Structure 1
Amino acid sequence: MFDKVIVGSEEWCSFPGLGIPAIKARVDSGAKTSALHAININPFLKDGESWVKFDINPIQNNTKTIIHCEAPLIDKRIVKSSSGYREKRYVIKANLQVGDTMWEVEVTLTNRDSMGFRMLLGREAMSGRLLVDPEQKYLLGQPTTEKLKEYYSTNDEPKKGLRIGLLASNPELYSNRRIMEAGELRGHEMHFLNLKYCYMKLDAETPEIHYRGGRVLNDFDAIIPRIRPSMTFYGCALTRHFEALKVYSLNSAAAISQSRDKLFSLQLLLNSGIDIPTTGFANSPLDTNDLIKMVGGSPLIVKLLEGTQGKGVVLAETKKAAESVINAFKSLNANILVQEFIKEANGKDIRCFVIDGKVVASIQREALPGEFRANIHLGGTASVIKATPEEKRIAIKATKAMGLKVAGVDIIRSSKGPLLLEVNSSPGLEGIEGATNKDIAGEMILAIEKNFKI
C-alpha cells in the first residue's frame, strides 16, 4: 500500500506517446473506465492494423489549441455516462504519466466539451498504483500559465486550406472516411460533425450552431452534407442554418429536400424534359384499376413515397397482386407511386456520379442471380462502363434540375432509350471508387476549392 502514489480529486497528467504534455484530469474512483476528450475521431488502417486518429483540445474552453493524435485501436465498447446516456466509444491504450509514475492504461475516446475536465481517470487505470485523497487537489503539482503556454505555443502561421465540416451520422462509413482523408490530404482542416450533436440558436442578430457541450460552429468555411434519409428534416434544417451563416454548402438544403421528395423530384425532372419510366400517383383507392392501366398494366412497381434506396418497393407481377398491394398501402394512408416495370433492363442500371456539372465516373450495377430488382439498385456487382453521351447529358441535366452540385444519378436502359430512375443527393463512394479506382472524394473537395478559388 505504501508503494502507491497519493493523488487528489483533481490532478495534472500527460500522455507522452500522444504528444499531450499536460492535461487536467478528474480522478474518479466511482467511474470504472477512463475517458479522454476527443473530436474528429476517425478509424483507419495502418500496416494492416486498426488505428484511430483524433483531435483534442487539451485545455478546457480553448478550441484554438489542437493536438492531432493517433493510436492503435483495441476495442469499441458501449459506455454508460453518469447521466445515463449510452454511447459506443473507441478504446485505445496509451502511456499515462502522473507525477513521476508512468504506466499503460486503456482510455475511451469521447467528446467531453460539456464536462469540466478533458480527462477522466477511472478506477481500472488507478488500481494497484494510486490512492485518492478526495479532500485534496493537485498533490503532484500543476503547471503555471507560462508553462502551459510553452507546452501549447503556436507559431501563428498563416492559415492554410479551409475549415470544412462533414455533416453526417456515421464516421465509420466508407464514404465519410474517404471524404475526411481526401480533405486532409489536400491540406484542409476537416471536422466530422455528427448531426445528432448539433443544435441551433435562431436569433436575428446572433444566429449560431452549437455542438454537444456548447462549442460554437460558426467559423467553418464549408460543409459537406451527407444526410441519411431518416435525418432529412433535421439535417436540412441544420444545412439551411449554416447557409444563413454564409457557410458554403456543397449541396444546398433546398436541393437536398426536393431530391428526397420522390413525387416532386419526378415532376421537376419531367419539367426539364427528362424521360422517366411511366409513373402514376393517386390518392383514392377507387381508381386502382385505371392507375394500373395508366402505367401499362402488370408487372409493375409500387413505391412508397417515404421509402428510400430500395426500401418500400414492391414488384407486383400480376394485376391481382398489384390491386392487393396498392389497396393495402392505401388502407394505411400511405402515399405511393405506381411505375412501369422495365423488363428489358434485365436487372441492370447505370450510376453516373456527377460533380460540379461533370460526370466524373460511371458504373453498371447488376443484380446477383435470383436477386429481386424493381427498376432500382439493391446490390450485386459493379463494373466500369462508359456512359453514352445521351446518358451523360441526362445525368448532368437531372443534377442541375435538382439544384445539386454532387449527385449519384441512376439511369436504366430501355427500348425507349435511357430513362432516369433517381437522383441521390448523398451517393455512396465505395462501389464507384472500388470499380473505377478514381478518387471521387478528392473530386468533391476540389469542387469546394473552386468555390473559394484555391
Structure 2
Amino acid sequence: MGNTTKFDELQVIGGEEWCVFEELGIPAIKARVDSGAKTSSIQANNVKVYNKGVEEWVKFEVNPIQENRSVTITCEAPLVDRRTVKSSVGISEERLVVKTSIKLGNNIHSVELTLANRDTMEYRMLLGREAINQRYIVNPAESYCMQNFSEEEIQEKYASHMAEKSGLTIALLASNPNLYSNKRIIEAGEARGHEVVFLNVENAYMKLDTKSPQIRYRGGNVLNKFDAVIPRIKPSVTFYGCALIRQFDNLGVYCLNTAEAITQSRDKLFASQLFSKNDIDIPITGFAKSPMDTKDLIRMVNGAPLIIKLLESTQGKGVVLAETNKAAESVINAFKSVQTNILVQEFIKEANGQDIRCFVVNGKVVASMQRQAQKGEFRANIHQGGVASLIKITSEERKLAVKAAKILNLAVAGVDIIRSNKGPLLLEVNSSPGLEGIEYATGLDIANVMIRAIEKKLNYTSN
C-alpha cells in the first residue's frame, strides 16, 4: 500500500470549514470541502503578476465574507504555476496558482490555491483533495468540525477592514441625464446618503492591460472609486455599453445587471429560445431566413392577424400588426429583402391591447401595472400614448415574471406578460425598464428599491 496514513489516524472534517491564511492576512474564510476538485481555489479580483527578485509573485484582492463585497483583503503570494482549468460549462481558462500556508483548527500545512473569479459562487473558497489527502476524512453531513466562528467573532476579526463610510459611490451608466428614470435613480441614491455620478456611455473609454486595466472618462479622468454601477444602456449602444460593464466587473465593481444578462435580453430570438427551453409559455413564434418559407411561417403561427417584430426593436418600436395573410407576406418579404432579421408571432386577440409590466428586483416582483393601448393601437405602450394603471397580478403571473428574469440572470428587469385563453404568456424582458409609468401607476418608489438592492448586495448599512 506504500506510505498510506491509517484510516483511524485521519481527522474528520465537514462539508464546510473555516480556513485561516495568516500569510495572506485572511483571518477567516468559509470554504466548501470538495473532494471532486483536485486543487483548492479562492475567489480573487484584480490579479497582478510582478517580479520580486528572481521570483514571480501575485498580488490579488479577496472578498472573504460571503455576500459582502465591502470587505477587501489585499494578498501577495509566490506564483507556482499557470494551469488551464475547464469550468462546469466546459469553458477553458488559464488560472494562476499560488502557494501559501493554511490553518485548519490547530493544523498548519502548505496548500496550492488557484485564483478564480468565484464572485457568483456561494462560497469564496473550495478546499480540494490535494489539501485533504492523507490528512482528513470528509463527513459531508457535518460542518465546522475543525473550528467554528460566530457572527460576532467574524465581525471582530474584520473590524479593522470595516471602516465606516458616509455612503457608497455609485455610477449611473446611461446616455441621457434628463430622463425621468435616470433623475429618479440619482435622487433616490442621494436621499440614502450615497454619491451617484452620471456617466455617459459614449464618453467613457477603457485601457486593456494585465497590470493596470482602467476605465477613463472624457479628458482622461480615471474612474477608480465606484462601489457599484447601475447600467441603463440604450439599444443603439448595447455592444459598447456591455464592454464597459465587463470592464467595471473586471475591476471588481458590482454591476446591478451584468453585460451577459443585458446582451441576452436584447437578443429577442436567443431570449425566446431560452424561454422555450425552460418551459416558459410565449406566443407561438417563428423565425426563417428564406422568403420561400414565408407562407408556411404564417401558417405556423396560426395565420393572420399576426405580429412582426424586428429583432432589435425596443419600447414598442419596430413592431407591426399584419391583419391579413397577404399583408403579412408583403411585410415579411419586404423586411427580408433588406436583410433585416424579424420574428413572426401569433396575435393574442383576447388581450384587447392590454399587457402587464412586472418590475422584478433581485428575484421579487416589487411592482406591477397594466398597460392599455390607445384606441386604434394593438399594443399597449406608455411611450406611445398608452395608459398605465395599478393591477393585482396572480401568483402564476408572479412566478412567470420571476422565472423569466432569473433565466436571463437579470437582477433588475421589466417583464411584460399578456393574458390569453391559454393562461399568462411572456412577451419580452427589458433589462433597462423605465420607472415613470410604474411609479405613477403604483405610487411606489421603485428607484429606492433599486438602491436598496445594491446596499444589500454590498452589505452596506447606513449610520
Normalising by the smaller structure, the TM-score range is: 0.5 to 0.7
Quote the offset at 1:341 in angstroms.
0.3
Cross-structure match for 1:335: 341
Q: Quote how far apart the aligned CAs of 1:377 are.
A: 7.9
From 413, 426, 442, the equivalent of 1:407 is: 413
Amino acid at match of 2:395: P
Provide TM-score, normalisation by structure 1.
Answer: 0.64
What CA distance in whole angstroms lies between the structure 2 residues aligned with 1:383 and 1:441? 19
Aligned-residue sequence identity (percent) comes to: 71
User: Where does residue 388 of structure 1 map in the other structure?
Assistant: 394
Match of 1:187 in 2: 193
Name the CA distance, whole Å, in 2 between partners of 1:175 and 1:379.
18
Deviations 1:71-117 (A, max 9, x none): xxxxxxxxxxxxxxxxxxxxxxxxxxxxxxxxxxxxxxxxxxxxxxx
1:433 lines up with 2:422 in the alignment: no
- Who is 1:253 aligned against? 259
Structure 1 Cα separation of the partners of residues 235 and 226 of structure 2: 24
Deviations 1:16-41 (A, max 9, x none): xxxxxxxxxxxxxxxxxxxxxxxxxx
User: 1:160 aligned to 2:166?
Assistant: yes
Question: What is the identity, as a one-letter code, of the residue corresponding to 1:319?
Answer: N
The one-letter code matched in structure 2 to 1:327 is: N
Match of 2:376 in 1: 370
Tell me, what secondary structure is at the counterpart of 2:315? coil
| Equivalent residues of 1:352, 1:395 under 8 A apart | yes
Q: In the TM superposition, what are the counterparts of 1:351-362 in structure 2 within 5 Å?
A: 351-362=357-368
In 1, the alpha carbon distance for the partners of 2:220 and 2:428 equals 38
Cα distance, 1:376 vs structure 2: 10
Deviations 1:424-451 (A, max 9, x none): 0000000000111101000000100011
Task: Confirm or deny: 8 A CA contact 1:365 1:377 kept in the other structure.
Answer: no
Cα distance change on mapping 1:192 and 1:437 into 2, 3 Å? same
2:247 maps to which of 241, 259, 262: 241
Contact 2:305 2:346 in 1 (8 A): yes
Distance in 2 (alpha carbons) for counterparts of 1:362 and 1:190: 26
Give the residue type in structure 1 aligned to 2:182: N
Q: Which runs of 5+ in 2 are unaligned?
A: 1-162
Counterparts of residues 11-410 of structure 1 (less than 5 Å): 159-373=165-379, 378-410=384-416
Q: Distance in 2 between matches of 1:335 and 1:276?
A: 19
Moved over 6 A (4+): 374-377
Residues in 2 aligned to 1:271 and 1:205: alpha-carbon distance in whole angstroms: 41
How far residue 159 of structure 1 moved from its aligned partner, in angstroms, is 2.7
Residue 438 of structure 1 aligns to a residue in which SS? coil
TM-score relative to the length of structure 2: 0.63
Q: CA deviation at 1:374?
A: 7.9
The count of aligned residue pairs is 298
- RMSD value over aligned CA atoms? 1.5
The separation in 2 between residues aligned to 1:295 and 1:331, in whole angstroms, is: 21
Structure 1 Cα separation of the partners of residues 277 and 455 of structure 2: 32
Distance verdict in 2 for CA 1:379–1:420, change over 3 Å: farther
- Do the aligned residues in 1 keep the contact of 2:380 with 2:386 (CA within 8 Å)? no
1:354-408 superposed Cα distances (whole Å, 9 cap, x missing partner): 0011000000000122234289985411110011100000000000000000000
User: Does the C-alpha gap of structure 1 residues 228 and 268 become closer, same or farther in structure 2, counting only changes over 3 Å?
Assistant: same
Ranges in structure 1 where 5+ consecutive residues have no aligned partner: 1-156
Q: Letter of the aligned partner of 1:184 in structure 2?
A: E
Distance in structure 1 (CA, Å) of the matches to 2:198 and 2:321:
39
Which residue is equivalent to 1:424?
Answer: 430
State the one-letter code of the partner of 1:323: E
In structure 1, how many angstroms separate the alpha carbons of the residues matched to 2:202 and 2:333? 37
Q: Give the whole-Å Cα distance in 2 for the aligned partners of 1:352 and 1:190.
A: 26
Aligned partners of 1:314 and 1:374 also within 8 Å: no
CA contact 2:265–2:429 (8 Å) conserved in 1: yes
